[in-house]
A and B are shown apart, each in its own frame.
Chain A
C-alpha cells in the first residue's frame, strides 16, 4: 500500500475526474460522469440525489467497494484507484466505518461478536478486541445488550449496533448509506443525532440520502444527478438553496 507520500494534505477524500461506465450491450451507462469532490477531515457531508443518480456508485467508490473506470482518488492519503482487492479490504477495515440502511448485522452472531468482527479482520488480539467493542457499545448505549442476537433487538437498536461496529476499529471516516431509511422518525432522529455527535467528536461523516430534510442536518450538501455533481454547498453557495 502506498504511504502518506501521496497525501494531498488538506483532504481526507479527494476524487479527480472519476468516471464509472457500464457497458450494457450496445449502450453505455455513465454511472459517474466526471466527478470531482474534495472532503476535508472532520467535515459532515450529505450526498443527495434521486435513485439512479449515481450516488450509490459514488458511495461504493468512497467505500473502496468498487473501482472506477477512470480517474483517481485518495482516501486518507492512500491512492485508492490503483489498489488491489486485498489492499482495498484493508482500507475498508481501517479507514471506513460503514452504516447501512438494512443494518447488515450477521444474524447468527451476538451484538458483541458483530462489533468485534472488523477487529478480528484487523488482526487485533482478543483482549484488545473486547476492550474496543466495549467502548463502542457503551458509546451507543448497547453494552448491556451485547449478548443478544440482532433479531432480538428493535430496528433502532440494530442500527445503533451497526454504528458501534462502524466505530469499533476507530476509523476516521463514517460512511452512512440511508441510515434512517428503515427507521421511524423518532429513532431516525436518534441515529442522526448520533452521527452529529460523531462529527463533533472529530469523525468525517459522509451521509448518503435521498431525503433533503435529513441532508440539512449536515454541514455541507452535495447533490448528484445523472452521474454529475450539480450542486455543492461548499462552492455553489449556501445549503439553504436545497429545498427541504
Chain B
C-alpha cells in the first residue's frame, strides 16, 4: 500500500467526524498561533527599538565619563588632538554637556534638557534648522549666549510669535534665541523636539561646571566604527589608567547587545508558547487513543483482509500528522490576523516572518507525528482475532 492510499484513508476518517477533528486541532491551532504572534510582536518591538538606535547614526560612538567622584575629564581640545592624530578614522568629535534646566520666556516656564555642544552636533545627530540658524564656531569661540531651541519649546514658549532674537532665561542666565530645530517627532514633550542647544563654552553658568561629560565621536565610515572605538579606548586609557572611568559605546555594540536580548526574548516567548503546542499534541494523542479503541473492529477487519502492521501504522500516523498540520496551517492563518491586530494596538510594525511561520508549522507536524506514534502503534499491534470480536 502506498502513501497516497494511506493518505486517502486518513483523510476519510478525518472528514468523517469534523467536529472532533476540529476540537483535536484546536490545541495545535492555538499553540501555533501563540508562538507566531508572540515571536512576531517581540521582533516587531525589536524593530522599533533598532530603528531608534539606528537613528543615532551607524557611525556614531558615544564616550561618557562615568567615574563618580572623578575630577578628571578630557577637554575638548584634547579630543580634537586625538581626532587630528586619527583623522583617517574619525571625522568629527562633538562635545555634549547636558543637564536638566528651566527655560523661561516672560511668564512661561518650561523644563527640559539643555545641551552644550558645537556646530557639528547638527551633522552627527542628523538634525536640521527650520528657522534662523544653528550655533556657529564663532558662537563657541566667543562664548556667545545664544540658543537653538526645539520645535516643542518654540511652540510652548512663543506660540505664534517668532522666537528669533527673543531673550530667554536658561537657569536664570539670559540667552538669545537664534534658531529653531526642525521637528522630528510631532513636537511632543517627551521627544527630541524638547531640547535647548547652546555653545558648550557658554554652558558653564548653566551647568555649574565646565567639565564635558560626554562626546559623540563620528567615525569616518560605518566600517571603521570598531577600529575608531578601539583607538579611542586606547587613548582614554592612557589618560585615565582606569577602565571604569569612561564608557565607549558605539551603535554597532548597542545593536549587538540588543540582538542578544531580543534573541533571548524571542526564544523565551516561543518556548512558553511552545508549551501550549505540546499540550495540543497531547490532545491529539488522547483523541487518537480513544479513536483506536473505538475503531478496534475496523482495524480487525482491515487486518483480516490483508492490511500489514505498517499499513495500519501509516494510516493512523498520517491521520495524526494531517490533523496537526491542518491545525498548523489554520494557526498560521490566524496568527497573521492576530499579529496585525496586536501590532496595531501596540503601535509597532509587526508581521510574522516566513522563517517563524515555517518553523512553527514544522514543529506542529513533528508534534503530530510524535504524539500520533503511540496510538498508531497500539492500532498496528492489535490482534486481528480479538479486534474482530470487538463491538
Within 8 A of A (CB), among B296-315: 297-298, 300-311
Q: Which of A78-122 contact B (CB under 8 A)?
A: 85-86, 89-90, 92-94, 98, 100, 104-106, 108-109, 117-118, 120-122
* Complex Cα spacing A98 to B303, Å: 11
Q: Which of A39-47, A59-67, A180-188, A199-207 contacts B (4 or more CB under 8 A)?
A: A59-67
B1 contacts the other chain (CB 8 A): yes
CB-based nearest B residue for A168: B305
Interface status of A165 (Cβ within 8 A of chain B): yes
Which residues of chain A are near B301, meaning CB under 8 Å?
A: 104-106
Q: Which residues of A contact B16 (CB under 8 A)?
A: 108
Question: B238 at interface (Cβ–Cβ under 8 A)?
Answer: no
Q: Write out, one digit per residue, whether chain A residues 207-242 have a CB within 8 A of any chain B CB (1) or not (0).
A: 000000000000000000000000000000000000
Q: A86-B310, A106-B298, A121-B1 are in contact. Are A60 and B385 (CB under 8 A)?
A: yes
Q: Are B309 and A92 in touch, CB under 8 angstroms?
A: no
Cβ–Cβ < 8 Å partners of A165 in chain B: 305
Q: Counting CB contacts under 8 A, is A123 at the interface? A: yes
Interface: B57 (CB within 8 A): no
From B15, which residue of chain A is reached at the shortest CB distance? A108
CB nearest neighbor in B for A107: B298
* Chain A residues positioned under 8 Å from B385 (CB to CB): 60, 65-66
Residue pair B13, A92 in contact (C-beta under 8 Å): no
The answer to whether A121 and B305 touch across the interface, beta carbons within 8 angstroms, is yes
B113 contacts the other chain (CB 8 A):
no
Q: Which residue of B lies closest to A98 (CB)?
A: B304
CB-CB under 8 A from A104, the residues of chain B are 297, 300-301, 304, 388
Closest residue on chain A to residue B380 by CB atoms: A85
In the bound complex, do residue B309 and residue A86 qualify as a contact, i.e. CB atoms below 8 Å apart?
yes
B12 contacts the other chain (CB 8 A): yes
B215 vs chain A, min Cβ distance (A): 78
| Cα of A78 to Cα of B308 in the assembled complex, Å | 18
A130 to B13, CA, bound (A): 21
Classify the secondary structure of B's interface with A.
Answer: helix
A104 to B310 Cα, complex, angstroms: 21
Given A86-B308, A104-B304, A121-B307: A65 in contact with B2 (beta carbons within 8 A): no
* A123 partner residues in chain B, CB cutoff 8 A: 1-2
On chain B, which size bracket covers the interface? 20 to 34
Chain A residue at smallest Cβ distance from B301:
A104
State the CA gap A9–B1 with chains docked (Å): 31
Tell me, yes or no, whether B5 is within 8 Å of chain A by CB. yes
Contact A89 B307 (CB under 8 A): yes
Chain B residues with CB under 8 Å of A98's CB are 304-305
Report the minimal beta-carbon distance from A222 to chain B, rounded to whole angstroms. 21
Q: Across the two chains, which residue of chain B brings its CB closest to A125?
A: B2
User: Smallest Cβ distance from A56 to chain B, in angstroms?
Assistant: 9
| Complex Cα spacing A65 to B298, Å | 15
Q: Which of A60, A89, A106 contacts B303 (CB 8 A)?
A: A89
Q: Which residues of A contact B303 (CB under 8 A)?
A: 65, 89, 92
Please judge, given known A-B contacts A65-B385, A109-B12, whether A117 and B304 are in contact too, CB under 8 Å.
no
Give the residue of B12, B297, B300, B308 whose beta carbon is less than 8 angstroms from that of A89.
B308
The complex places the Cα of A117 from the Cα of B300 at a distance, in Å, of: 13
Residues facing A in B257-307 (CB within 8 A) are 297-298, 300-307
- Any A CB within 8 A of the CB of B112: no
| B384 contacts A by Cβ under 8 Å | yes
Smallest CB gap from A91: residue in B: B306
Select from chain A the residue with minimum beta-carbon distance to B12: A108
Query: Once the chains are docked, how many angstroms separate the CA of A66 from the CA of B385?
Result: 7
Chain A nearest Cβ from B383, distance in angstroms: 9
A216 to B302, CA, bound (A): 32
B305 in complex: contacting residue of A66, A108, A117, CB < 8 Å? A117
A65 pairs with B304, CB closer than 8 A: yes
Neighbouring B residues of A65 by C-beta, 8 Å? 303-304, 384-385, 388
In the complex, which residue of chain A has the Cβ closest to the Cβ of B311? A121
Q: Is the CB of B310 within 8 A of A94?
A: no
Report the Cα distance A100→B302, complex, angstroms: 13
Partner of A85, one of B5, B13, B302, B309: B309
Closest A residue to B17 using CB positions:
A108
Cα separation A165 to B304 with both chains bound (whole Å): 12
Give which listed residue, A60, A66, A100, A121, contacts B306 with CB less than 8 A: A121
Q: In the complex, what's the smallest C-beta–C-beta distance from B2 to chain A, in angstroms?
A: 7
Determine the distance from Cα of A2 to Cα of B101 in the docked complex, in whole angstroms: 98
Quick one: closest B residue to A166, CB to CB? B305
Which among A63, A94, A109, A120 is the interface contact of B1 at CB below 8 angstroms? A120
How far does the alpha carbon of A63 sit from the alpha carbon of B13 in the complex, in Å? 28
Q: Mark A27-71, 1 if CB is under 8 A from B, else 0.
A: 000000000000000000000000000000000100101100000
- Name the A residues within 8 Å of B1 (CB-CB): 120-121, 123
- Interchain residue pairs with CB less than 8 A apart (16): A65-B304, A86-B310, A89-B307, A90-B306, A92-B303, A94-B306, A100-B388, A104-B388, A106-B302, A108-B12, A108-B16, A109-B12, A118-B305, A121-B302, A121-B306, A122-B306
Q: A86-B309, A108-B16, A118-B305 are in contact. List 7 more A-B contacts (CB 8 A).
A: A65-B385, A86-B308, A86-B310, A92-B305, A98-B304, A106-B301, A118-B306
Q: Considering the complex of A and B, which 8 residue pairs feature the smallest CB-CB distances, nearest first?
A: A93-B306, A121-B306, A118-B305, A89-B308, A86-B308, A104-B301, A92-B306, A121-B307
